[in-house]
Chain A
Amino acid sequence: MITARGLARRFKTKAGPVDAVRGVDLDVAPGEIVGLLGPNGAGKTTTLRMLTTLLMPSSGTAQVAGFDLVSQPREVRRHIGYVAQVGAAPSAGTLLGEELVTQARLQGLSKADATARLVEVAPRLDLGGLERRALLELSGGQRRRFDIALGLMHAPRLVFLDEPTTGLDPQSRANLWSHIRSLRDDTGVTILLTTHYLDEADALADRIMVMDGGRIVADDTPDALKARIAGDVVTLTLAPETGEAPFARAAQVAREAVPAREIVAGETDLRVTVDNGGVAVAPLLRAMDAAGIALASVAVTRPSLDDVFLTLTGHSLREGPDGAPSEALAGSTPS
């Protein structure tokens, strides 16, 4: 359904050229749900905008829904649905039903077909009966379902969803997930979605591509990605009253105490990746105690996608590549 080779995009900025996407190869098979996972600035949206003809690639080629991205953009547009990131408040005077019909007509449907399609699509996304409702009066969840309906009006075989659940409350997110899943199960539509929520990628996607710094750094099923770092993580939270440079010292102590595969210092905790967490806890605690490092808590976790990301990219999904915390990630659930 999608085949891209060496897709790249460079932006000119006042501070010099920025390579938002640096040579992405990706393949998506019909009927798949593929999640493009990465922090803000990883190049997910730029990749999506290129694949949907909204942005010309600086280099590279792609076939989308059977057509060449660069030479046949109109054919590509005819066969794909695109749901953008949530936008600013809609204009007054726009009604849900009319906007959906307008979108369908721009997609080339006749007025009768567009109206018939509205009757089909609206209830699918729990929007039945809201046709005369002003867009301004929709709740966040309804607005997002309306956005998705816009992308489905012409019954495309391939749908792109850019951060479909950003900004929604947990119930609305779960609700939207079930809509997206049943969409694929019932109609066999192929879905490529971007997200910075690990749980979202884990819950929805058959396959996850992890993006970082404009590249795809991993491409596998959620389970295979988790298996990639066989091993458990022992998270040691240091007590606040611990002395100077506690992390460097604690990391050193941990390294000596257990055969750690990896040790990473977080903001308040130390994550020690070991083959078997249960066995490692006792020696770790003894060593910390002996070194005079006070601990607030200890936890053993099986690997989550967050850990996979950390292993793959060297930095947590909660931070940008430069280590700056990214506020938009506040909604991701800790594992």
Chain B
Amino acid sequence: MLTETFVIFQRQMRILLRNPVWVFFGLTQPILYLVLFGPLLKGVTGGGLGGNDSWRIFVPGLLLQLALFGAGFAGFGIIQELREGVIDRQRVTPARRLSLIFGRTLGNMVTIGVQAAILIVVALPFGLRASWDGVVSSVILVCLLALGISAASYAMGLILKDEDAFAPFIQGVSLPLLLLSGVLLPMSLAPAWLRHTSQVNPLSHVVDATRALFRGDFGDQDVWIGICITVALGALLAWWGSRTFQRQSA
């Protein structure tokens, strides 16, 4: 089981790293947000923003965005693999179906982990000052979330089987989730109705938790709520994704 998962993981990473376009844009995109959007927040006041503190609000948001989009679009790849015959080819082996999907999600998780690390390192010269324990815990949390989201995304890819349906679906789901999680600006700036709506979005609790962790506020109630929600959501999505994957490829 572990060997099979690792073999799939290796294959994913090999293909990814041989793609120079991905290596360049995949790694520089998070930096673009820091350079081209981050400075705007320094001038905004309210909601904990303003000055160098704003990086502690903004960088955790970017981490979540990274997980949501990076892992959300994972299913694109599986549609291509379906056409290529790679999925069928792997399904006729005795390898466990769970390894086939987890090898892939592991690839997404590691990718997002690396992107997150780059993001944080680059944010340092901009003025990010955060608790290191909190940063490491946040990255782990985001990776867990990415694991669940990518598993679900692979399952959706297998269900929809078509990029033209998959792309609008993922956009349609992830954009409201992103906006309602207060990733770009904290929800404390929002009018009451928007704030209440965002409470229903599990991702806003993840962001709240990572922001508290960046502050080093481990005792904060947000941290524990966020961790519980992330673990539950990640596990739920991973369970649904792998079950659907197995069903679609029984």
A and B: bona fide binding partners: yes
- A residues with a Cβ closer than 8 A to B are 52-54, 56, 74-75, 77-78, 80, 82, 84-85, 87-94, 98-99, 102-103, 105-108, 147, 150
Does the CB pair A91–B93 fall under 8 Å? no
A87, B92: Cβ atoms closer than 8 Å: no
Quote the shortest CB–CB distance from A84 to chain B (angstroms).
5
Contact check, B15 vs A94: say whether CB atoms are below 8 A apart. yes
Q: Which of B11, B92, B250 contacts A102 (CB 8 A)?
A: B11
Query: B1-44: contact bitstring with A at CB < 8 Å (1 yes, 0 no)?
Result: 00110011011001111110000000000000000000000000
- How many whole Å from B218's CB to the nearest CB in chain A? 42
Q: How many residues of chain B have a CB within 8 Å of chain A? A: 27
In the assembled complex, the CB of A54 is this many whole angstroms from the nearest CB of chain B, namely 6
> Which residues does chain B contribute within 8 Å of A98, judged by CB atoms?
11, 14
Check B92 against A93 for contact (C-beta < 8 Å). no
Shortest A192–chain B CB gap in Å is: 14
- For the complex, what is the distance from the CA of A91 to the CA of B89, rounded to whole Å? 14
B121 to chain A, nearest CB (A): 26
Residues of A within 8 A of B4 (CB): 105-106
A87's partner among B15, B84, B95 (CB-CB below 8 A) is: B84
Q: Are B93 and A107 in contact (CB under 8 A)?
A: yes
B78-116 interface code vs A (CB 8 A; 1 in, 0 out): 001101111011111111000000000000000000000
Closest residue to A154 on the B side, CB-wise?
A: B93
In the bound complex, do residue B7 and residue A84 qualify as a contact, i.e. CB atoms below 8 Å apart?
no
**16 A-B interface contacts by CB (under 8 A):** A82-B88, A84-B88, A87-B83, A87-B86, A88-B80, A99-B11, A103-B89, A103-B90, A105-B3, A105-B4, A105-B7, A106-B7, A106-B8, A107-B93, A107-B94, A107-B95
Kindly identify which residue among A78, A91, A106 contacts B84, using a CB–CB cutoff of 8 Å. Answer: A91
Contact call B80/A80, Cβ cutoff below 8 A: no
Residue of A at shortest CB range from B15? A93
Q: Are B85 and A87 in contact (CB under 8 A)?
A: yes
Residues in chain A near residue B80, CB distance under 8 A: 88, 91
Q: Is the CB of A106 within 8 A of B88?
A: no
**Chain B residues with Cβ under 8 A from A150's Cβ?**
89
Residues of B with C-beta under 8 A to A78 = 94
Query: Least Cβ distance of B157 to chain A in Å?
Result: 15
Judging by beta carbons under 8 Å apart, are A77 and B93 in contact?
yes
Q: How far, in angstroms, from A329 to B93 measured CA to CA in the complex?
A: 31
Among A77, A78, A106, which residue has the most Cβ atoms of chain B within 10 A?
A106
- Nearest B residue to A114 via CB reads B7
What is the bound-complex CA distance between A107 and B250, given in angstroms?
A: 17
| Separation of A284 and B139 alpha carbons in the complex (Å) | 86
Taking a contact as CB atoms under 8 Å apart, the answer to whether B11 and A74 are in contact is no
| Cβ contact within 8 Å between B95 and A106 | yes
A90 to B18, CA, bound (A): 14
- Report if A84-B19 is in contact (Cβ < 8 Å); known contacts: A78-B94, A106-B7: no
New A-B contacts (11) at CB < 8 Å, excluding given A87-B84, A106-B90:
A53-B91, A54-B88, A87-B83, A87-B85, A87-B86, A88-B85, A92-B18, A94-B15, A102-B7, A106-B95, A108-B93
For A85, give the chain B residue with the smallest CB separation.
B85
The one of A52, A75, A91 in contact with B92, judged by C-beta atoms closer than 8 angstroms, is A52
Q: How far is the CA of A94 from the CA of B89 in the complex (A)?
A: 15
Query: A88-B80, A106-B7 given as contacts; is B89 within 8 A of A54 (CB)?
Result: no
Q: Is A93's CB under 8 angstroms from B19's CB? A: yes
Contacting pair A90 B89 (CB below 8 A): no
The 6 A-B pairs of least Cβ separation, nearest first, read A87-B85, A93-B18, A88-B83, A106-B93, A93-B15, A82-B92
Q: A93-B14, A93-B15, A93-B19 are in contact. Are A88 and B84 (CB under 8 A)?
A: yes
Residues in A neighbouring B15, C-beta threshold 8 A: 91-94
Q: Evaluate whether A92 and B19 lie within 8 angstroms (CB atoms) in the complex, with A84-B89, A87-B84, A87-B85 already known.
A: yes
The 8 Å CB contact of B250, one of A56, A84, A105, is A56
